[in-house]
Amino acid sequence: MTLCDLQTFGLSDERGFLPHVDPLRQLPQPEFAAWEQVATNLPKYLAGLSLRKTVNNLPDFRVELLGSEVELKRAMVMLSFLGHAYVFGERPVVDRIPAVLAKPWFEVAKRLGRPPVLSYESYALDNWQRIDPNGPIATGNIALLQNFLGGIDEEWFVIVHVDIEARASEALKAIALGRRAVVENKPSDMVNALKAMSCALNGMYDSLCRMLEHCDPFIYFHRVRPYIHGWKNNPALPNGLIYEGVTEYGGVGQFFRGETGAQSGIIPSLDGFLGVGHKEDLLKAYLMEMRQYMPPQHRFFLEATEAGPSTRDFISANASEPNLEAVYNQCVEWVEKFRTKHLEYAVLYIANQAQKDPSNPSQVGTGGTPFVQYLTKHRDETGEHKLPTTP
């Protein structure tokens, strides 16, 4: 039997999958000043069509000077944004990254346990600051550390994700409480855990529903989305991306998927705990592939939620416990509603937009998949897992 206490997996009861301490705003070592200057002014270099020339002339990025994990994560944010801006920020799209950027990007990514590509962790989880350092991690008090072009649409798109992650901490704590209830055979504790989870899911859904307030679908598709694609299933990069100077890749193009919310551990962890399964097909294989882009401790946590014992079996065996089946179904319904809203946004923000550039396709997601088909299947499979209530 597997417990899911967050501390065991290096996670925070207060912040869930967000970092224990606020992300580092800048690398403190003076040797990185030139890199930080380019990253800070990235929107201006992109507007001036001078980013590639500027990056080519940067001094060596001295990875050996990075000490703590927070420094590695700050470096990964900076290098990932510069890498994607280098590929997609000027025309034509290029199929190689120069060694001055590729080598440190590879080394930092290796130390963090994930590929050298912009993933959800660097785009959202490690890319925010509190306006009031004593205030909450919530919309109204958070801003991004790093942008591509900048502007409220880009800010809001990511801020909403950070807000959802902060709210999800209560759902992750509920997973730990619920798993302990199964291990200790305490049905009433499971009811309390599921009530807390339902409340957290309600808040996450409410936050997701705010996306349209400041993120316009047209602006998102044409000004935000082009930079977060990857080099797998990307029609503009049929041979992948070459990381010059990275001996481990031997000059061969690499195929990594772009940033996508499917790289967040929240919904997979909820699926694992609630017993929401997905059929063995290409979609399931894609979901498993997304775990390669998560921080290792996030992967380990969601694997633990899937390892059992079964929440559904426990609830079925204790169906006489008042409200147990009902509150379980309520949690499943919230996950289904969350996925339904995500699907609505995918159609509005992507499928309904007019494609103008092969590097920003409207028929596949930034992860390189037929997203409408996949998201619909996710949603439908979730709804199928509600339990028939006992009379």
pLDDT tens digits for range 340-364: 998 889 889 888 887 777 767 666 5
User: Average pLDDT, stretch 214-243?
Assistant: 95
162 has a pLDDT exceeding 50: yes
Residue 389 CB neighbour total at 10 angstroms: 11
Q: Which residue has the higher pLDDT, 366 or 81?
A: 81
Show the tokens assigned to 8. Answer: 């065991």
- Is residue 183 pLDDT above 60, yes or no? yes
Q: Which two tokens stand for residue 161?
A: 């994700």
**Single-letter amino acid, residue 68:** S
Contact 74, 82 (CB under 8 A): no
Residue 96: band (very low, low, confident or very high) from pLDDT cuts 50, 70, 90: very high
State yes or no: pLDDT of 387 exceeds 90: no
Residue reference for tokens 């401790």:
297
> What's the CA gap between 314 and 331, in Å, rounded?
16
* pLDDT exceeds cutoff 70 at 237: yes
C-alpha–C-alpha distance, residues 86 and 205, integer Å: 35
> Which pLDDT band holds residue 283 (cuts at 50, 70, 90)?
confident
Cβ density class 171-202: b for 16+ within 10 Å, e for less: bbbbbbbbbbbbeeebbeebbebbebbbbbbe
Query: What's at 324, amino acid-wise?
Result: L
- Mean per-residue pLDDT over the chain, rounded: 92
Least confident of 111-115, 278-282, 338-342: 278-282
pLDDT at 3: 74
What are the b/e assignments for 97-118, b being 16+ CB within 10 Å?
A: bbebbbbbbbbbbeebebbbbb
Tell me which fold the domain 6-383 belongs to: Methane Monooxygenase Hydroxylase; Chain G, domain 1 (1.20.58)
Say which amino acid occupies 83.
G
The length of the chain, given as a count of residues:
391
SS3 of 21-33? CCCCCCCCCHHHH
pTM for this predicted structure? 0.94
Q: What's the mean pLDDT in 312-336?
A: 95
- Please report, for the chain, the start and end positions of each structural domain, with discontinuous segments joined by +: 6-383
Q: What is the mean pLDDT of residues 146-175?
A: 98
Mean pLDDT, range 251-257, rounded to an integer: 97
pLDDT at 1 exceeding the cut of 50: no
314, 190 in Cβ contact below 8 A? yes
Q: Would you place residue 372 in the very low, low, confident or very high pLDDT band (cuts 50, 70, 90)?
A: low
Instruction: Give percent of the chain with pLDDT exceeding 90.
Output: 80
Q: Does 221 score more than 60 pLDDT?
A: yes
